[in-house]
Structure 1
């Protein structure tokens, strides 16, 4: 059993001011997998002050100095690849294949991308007699989720390091093992003391102090819209920058063409990835009403092929992360049944043969209307809603009829039609025919899906202030 009872502050592993612990549950077997120390306001204060002190020197480092540190971090990350993959599977139930193929590589990819960007990034620009300077914003607090833990840690840490910011990380207390190992990586890589700090804890004990602390210049939060609103409220009195990547209820518009069946099956498989625990998951599939019966048949067959079981084995679908999430998903599945949607596959309860662990049946509803709860609320589980449309204009209208705007998807044989639909969807990222995996593409949402963008050079700008130095260039003699 893992025991992580220290916090990482100012380049050292330190005891919390007052030791309080939390058990971490393995969602596959519901047993205690480890124990972490829970930090508190006093620990946050120590970490923020360490970051503030380090900012004075780290912000003045050269591009080459920061590149050297980041390349050392990448080397250490690669050394711990296996440890990170095992931790992801143990803490949040991602199948081993997904952990090795996507979860761990995602973090590594963001770091490698940031290194490449930093080599040529322009921090200064001449505009006549004025110099425009991009400077690090300062001390940043990062509050990260459990569903893609390394992806979300690194898409904040990497650009912050690259731009000269210092930081305090609060990884999810539900899935903290990867955060712990990541802090070990940063230590072994020789990141200067105080540049990176990590405080384990929950939202009330650590998240709130990180959002309210007057010496924090920016808070970057990834999680639910409800929690994101609270972070923004807490940050408002100190007028710090707030970056949020929040919830989603992404439409997946399937056009009426010869690849219809392939598109429907692919949409089912995609929603099942990571047990549906992705904020950008294509949870609302829109199909032509006249082909609803065909969509039901294809979706039922695709869902039946999804295997559920022990994430350390060969199952495609592991458990969801916690009993809290399992209960919420079960309630929403029942609401779908009660409100009259057609249950195509799955339903309430655990899959057959699994009497322990937070496993959810791969579930598909059809004949869903956009007024139903399952079409409006973010379920965050392996649950797909299929809605019908009569015209493409109606599909776009329904697709946009949500308080969210994180992602959207279009499936079409005719690329020109797909492009036209994509341009009309109100979402921060739209994928055509499975296009994805571009770490240079900005990631973030419209509406209640958040503000700001992560990934690539767009992520760099979130961590920079803009200064105009007038009269920088000497005036020319007449």
Structure 2
């Protein structure tokens, strides 16, 4: 199979944007490029063109021209396009998996098993929801109409590059919107491959557009542009605030999926032999580089010693190393700034006096090259420690003791975030009651299967709006009431 780098280079995609159904070179007055670095080797692997305001204007103009036609296209035709996109993503699964591995370090086995197929699921769900959605419903003599909001700027992160693209593009197109995508400049290769899928699937010109660039230029340009009707951003809380500020003068809708510091409450009656290893696995999924990762494990004080033993055993089973090796479960941290952040916060945990159960600073084993971090677990973490309050975004788990279930709930809720949460216990009535009191957009009970139809989003500083499922599509719709429509 042709490598993704060779495929992209031979097609000339890294130096171009996808605008109005064509691959185009930047038109901005200042040529700029971002160097994509393979985090496993710390070597540059590609140069990707970065856009400016002129490129943003061009892409938005194309999306605006296409909106009138696309928004009135019969739902069956929009669903047919989504069906073709879904099929192409699955056909090219290996190409995407290889791209994700080299651009952000995902273990190839994880990219094949999760990053790509779960991304494809967002397209399938968007197609299925579109096929069953009632865009006009009666309420007495009034018609409640749901209509596409317009041109949408989509800003996606580096940690789940393809997954977050499909989570936005799928429902936006299903709703009848046209889009301009700005992927992270740190992991843009899978986005270029996705643009190729859109082209090969027969997406009408202007319906989908891609402009690579930085947040302060392309991201801010989309957010402030008067012809953009909505911004959807997945990123840090800081980035979400900046986007909202830029969008405020034009009073556009802003959907934000931002940071998190998710709790995992292990109730006293939980089966620790199951709950603790699964909790460690969830916290370190994608090497902890997930905004909803449950990186605060809340445990009854009397069970701390047993939990520490089980957690250390689970972490010791993880294989950190070459992401292309079939035996590897976790590759490197995705980029240098994040690697430094993780190392800093591990040092902070030690200085704060937390008990180091396993891991610690530096690279694991004899790895000398690559942005590899040691899966690290702290215990006896006080609720006011920085490692208990700040989003680390890496393989660092804090085990926090509680004396009563009410105290566990209070600890779970005492952060500025509210994106995800987990509750483990044998008595389902109690588990449900605890879940009801947690302030977060999602709560997982006893580690259920992933549900692509479950809406995802945050309370508090974790964001506004929802993604996934029916609610994810409705973010891209306006509500119109037509009185006297029915007689």
Q: What is the TM-score of this pair, normalised by structure 1?
A: 0.98
Partner of 1:104: 116
Quick one: which of 10, 17, 25 aligns to 2:27?
Answer: 17
Distance 1:218 1:188 in 2: 26
Correspondence for 1:148 among 149, 160, 164: 160
1:258, distance to aligned residue in structure 2 (A): 5.7
Unmatched runs of 5 consecutive residues or more in structure 2: none
Instruction: Tell me whether 1:424 sits opposite 2:434 in the alignment.
Output: no
In the other structure, the counterpart of 1:371 is 384
The answer to which of 108-117 and 294-303 deviates more is: 294-303
Computed over aligned residues only, the root mean square deviation of the Cα atoms, in angstroms, reads 1.0
Of 213, 219, 235, which residue of structure 2 is paired with 1:207?
219
**Match of 1:356?**
369
CA distance in 1, matches of 2:266, 2:85: 42
Q: What is the distance in 1 between the residues matched to 2:312 and 2:451?
A: 31
Q: CA deviation at 1:471?
A: 1.7
Question: Structure 1: how far apart are the matches of 2:198 and 2:482?
Answer: 35
Aligned partner of residue 167 in structure 2, secondary structure: helix
Does structure 2 retain, via aligned residues, the 8 Å contact 1:48–1:215?
yes
Please name the residue that 2:16 is paired with.
Answer: 6
Alpha-carbon shift at residue 151 of structure 1 (Å) = 1.3
Q: 2:345 aligns with which of 328, 332, 340?
A: 332
Deviating runs (4+, > 4 A) in structure 1?
none
More moved, 241-250 vs 201-210: 201-210
Instruction: Between 51-60 and 69-78, report the one with greater CA deviation.
Output: 69-78
Q: Who is 2:415 aligned against?
A: 402
Residues 106 and 150 in structure 1, CA contact (< 8 A), matched pair in contact too:
no
Whether the aligned pair in 1 keeps the contact of 2:152 and 2:179 (CA below 8 Å) is yes
| Deviation at residue 261 of structure 1 after TM alignment | 3.1
Question: What residue is the counterpart of 2:312 in the other structure?
Answer: 300
Partner of 2:50: 38
Corresponding residue for 1:88?
Answer: 100
Give 1:61 deviation, angstroms: 0.7
> Secondary structure at 2:443's aligned position in 1?
strand
1:67-116 CA-partner distances (Å, limit 9, x unpaired): 12211222222222111111111111010111000000111101111111
- How far apart, in 1, do the equivalents of 2:342 and 2:262 lie? 17
Could you tell me how far 1:260 is from its partner in structure 2? 1.8
Verify: 1:216 aligned to 2:253, yes or no: no
User: What is the SS of the residue equivalent to 1:466?
Assistant: strand
Structure 1 unaligned residues grouped into runs of 5+: none
Q: Give the TM-score, by structure 2 length.
A: 0.96
Of 172, 180, 201, the match for 2:184: 172
Which residues of 2 match residues 113-192 of structure 1 at below 5 A?
113-192=125-204
- Secondary structure of residue in 1 paired with 2:138: strand
C-alpha distance after superposition, 1:140-167 (max 9, x if no partner): 0000001111111011101111111000
Which residue of the partner structure matches residue 67 of structure 2?
A: 55
